Structure 1
Amino acid sequence: MIYVAITIGLFLLRYSVLGYPQLNRQLYPIILTFLFLFSGFRFEVGCDWTGYLNQYEIAGGITAGQAIQSREPIWWLLLWLQRFLDLPYPWINVMSSLVCFAGIHVLARRQPDPLGFLVLLFPVLLINMPMTAMRQGAAIGLICAAMTRFMDGRLLGFLFWVALAASFHSSAAIFFLLAPLVSRKITGVRILGAVLLAVPGLVFLMAGEAGQTATQWYIDGDRDSFGAIFRIALLSLSSLFFFLLLRKIWKREFPEDYQIVTLGGVGMLLAGVLLPTSTIIADRLSYYLIPVQTMIFARIPWMQTLSARPVLAAAPYLGLLVFFAVWAMGSSHFQQCYIPYQSWIFGAP
């Protein structure tokens, strides 16, 4: 299967440049471009292909003003502009993938191992988001950019990128709850305070139009996400791994992004709390945390004082490969959504 083959190839490529950081950074833009083309120029691939096609058709009957007044204005403006320019439907996937990968690049270039960070995103995040959930894929990319503003202590920049992400997918608005923690030292008391503030914040978000729609579709309805349990379990294990083995080393060796990773680790644990309410909502929100999980995985080889570093560094690659191979070859949902892979990169749709 092409997806498993690409995953193996990417992981082997990362292994082949071990110990060559300059080559790592030289190969990174090549792989970034390849993955963007693989995602952005897919044709009739992805679980939501027909769903977004319906939105494309709807956009043909709205005005720019109506697009701006929608719940997710930038997304609908893009659709409106596409119809105005008379571009075929698949171009919206190119545009949304471009936003997603541009945001990921902003975060990846801050990593000591950008290639490792990128290839570890492929089996779960890149397959599930820009290749099937265009709006949220774009929003996740913009949240990656917001994370870098958080690291730099720039509140206005953080708020800007979160607002832009929410204009693609309203679920990204939950990151506004982190605003009080920008430029402040993370402590146990402040994390507890952020969690307590999140409760009324979530109530407020759920009371809005987007929250009511989510409630009707994902809680009151009978929709479910079987894979959410496994993805969130992987996030929870990653969080425990960070707090039990890596946290003190990270704080000492990488203080510049210690705060965002700590908050992300807490979020990974809290994602499981939402599972009994709605597996789909828990799953959708958990995807925003995968870049933090990937930062943890990709940073292990660079932790100088970590015991058994070679073994621990290899574990995420082997674990994700097994996880992805089982899902790709054993899931009927995957077979229906992603196979066969088709691209229109060499021909017009």
Structure 2
Amino acid sequence: MTYFLTYIALLFGGLSTRKNVNLRGILYYACLFGLFIFVGFRYRVGCDWGGYLVIFNSARRNELFSSGIEPAFFAANQFLHYFELEYPYINVIASAGFFVGLGALARRQPDPLNFLVLAFPILILNLAMSALRQSLAFGFLCFAFNAFVDKRLGWYVGFVAIAMTFHTSAGAFLLLAPFIRGDFSRKRIALGALLALPGLYYLMTSTFYEMYARRYIGTATEAFGAPFRTALVAASAITFLWLFDRKWKELFPSDYKMVKLLSYAMIAVFPISFLSSVAGDRFGYYLSAIQLVILARLPFMVTGRRSTWWYMAPHMVLGLTLLMWVLRSSLFEKCYVPYQTWL
């Protein structure tokens, strides 16, 4: 129950400091650092521990991948060998990249602490504690999302490009580049979609698509629970579009365009997860960043007692999800229990 109790402690800290802005700010940085330690210094925890050990040993023998993809992660492993550091340090690197990016996005929110607490039950446990390459890519995508809001096209493309060197799937977000500048309108969406067609054609005909089709579509590879996780992502988008679209545009105009565009993508990953649970899950984790943005803003969309209800509702759903996962999943018991740290 280590993970569930950790979530309860985070939630209690968030609830007990709601009226103390200064203490809440201090607690946010303490939780961010504590979660970095919790994730980065784990030992034999996470379903991909053995898989990344194979990559680490390949880097020791200087065996480059024949496909030549995702070189930054391979280089990170070679960096460890150069300084004679052992395999667990790759988790420290991945955890640092993930939390630096997540923290950069969290600080753009009205309530960074709540954003961070909401990330724990699914995003942190499932992504940061297992999928090292994608967690590093996720960290750089968080910077890309900030660049999108700031309308800095060059920075956006640059951060996405760096993310691709850790996990090629991040390249799909290059399709958002045409939408960065200009007003949000149907005409603009149509123009942006037209401009994005060459990039989409490249992705669908390149080794990127071939690799993911070979790995995940029509294979025995499964991401257990993916339809449920992507359903939560889609439900967050539907809540935004159905209930808070106009209110969001009024209160938070700076990131309205990004949230609305990616809300449609958040809905789309749900049916994709039935075609390929792994592919749906991969993109669902990236879009979880926007899901957290939506969930953390819900209390600011309403006033009075309803604000407290909208604050607690996502936590109740995520807390119940975590509890059921802890109690009923054999995969969780195999990969995460017991929690150990090499400190």
Q: What range describes the TM-score normalised by the shorter chain of this pair?
A: over 0.9
Q: CA deviation at 1:194?
A: 4.9
Q: State the TM-score, normalized to the length of structure 1.
A: 0.93
- Counterpart amino acid of 1:34? G
Q: CA deviation at 1:191?
A: 3.8
What is residue 55 of structure 2 aligned with on the other side?
55
Mapped partners of 1:111, 1:200: distance in 2: 34
| Cα contact 2:104–2:143 (8 A) shared by 1 | yes
Q: Which runs of 5+ in 1 are unaligned?
A: none
- Counterpart amino acid of 2:61? G
- 1:109-158 Cα deviation digits (max 9, x unpaired): 11110100011001100101111000001111110111000000000010
Q: CA deviation at 1:44?
A: 0.3
Mapped partners of 1:72, 1:186: distance in 2: 34
More deviation in 194-203 or 40-49? 194-203
Q: CA deviation at 1:304?
A: 5.1
- With over 3 angstroms needed to count, the CA separation of the structure-2 counterparts of 1:194 and 1:326, relative to structure 1, is farther
Which secondary structure state, in structure 2, belongs to the residue aligned with residue 87 of structure 1?
coil
Mapped partners of 2:327, 2:194: distance in 1: 41
| Cα contact 1:68–1:77 (8 A) shared by 2 | no
What is residue 156 of structure 1 aligned with on the other side?
154
Equivalences, count: 343
Which secondary structure state, in structure 1, belongs to the residue aligned with residue 128 of structure 2?
coil
- Counterpart amino acid of 1:218? Y
| Cα contact 2:178–2:196 (8 A) shared by 1 | no
| Cα contact 1:117–1:298 (8 A) shared by 2 | yes
- 1:168 equivalent to 2:204? Answer no
Aligned-residue identity in percent:
39
- Counterpart amino acid of 2:267? L
| Cα contact 2:178–2:195 (8 A) shared by 1 | no
- Counterpart amino acid of 2:231? A
What is residue 37 of structure 1 aligned with on the other side?
37
- 1:294-322 Cα deviation digits (max 9, x unpaired): 11111122235588322122101111101
| Cα contact 1:21–1:113 (8 A) shared by 2 | no
What is residue 308 of structure 1 aligned with on the other side?
306
Mapped partners of 1:68, 1:222: distance in 2: 23
- 1:237-295 Cα deviation digits (max 9, x unpaired): 11111011111111001111111111221111111231232111011111001111111
Mapped partners of 1:236, 1:186: distance in 2: 22
Q: State the TM-score, normalized to the length of structure 2.
A: 0.94
Mapping for residues 334-345 of structure 1, pairs under 5 Å: 334-345=332-343
- With over 3 angstroms needed to count, the CA separation of the structure-2 counterparts of 1:32 and 1:212, relative to structure 1, is same
- Counterpart amino acid of 2:28? Y
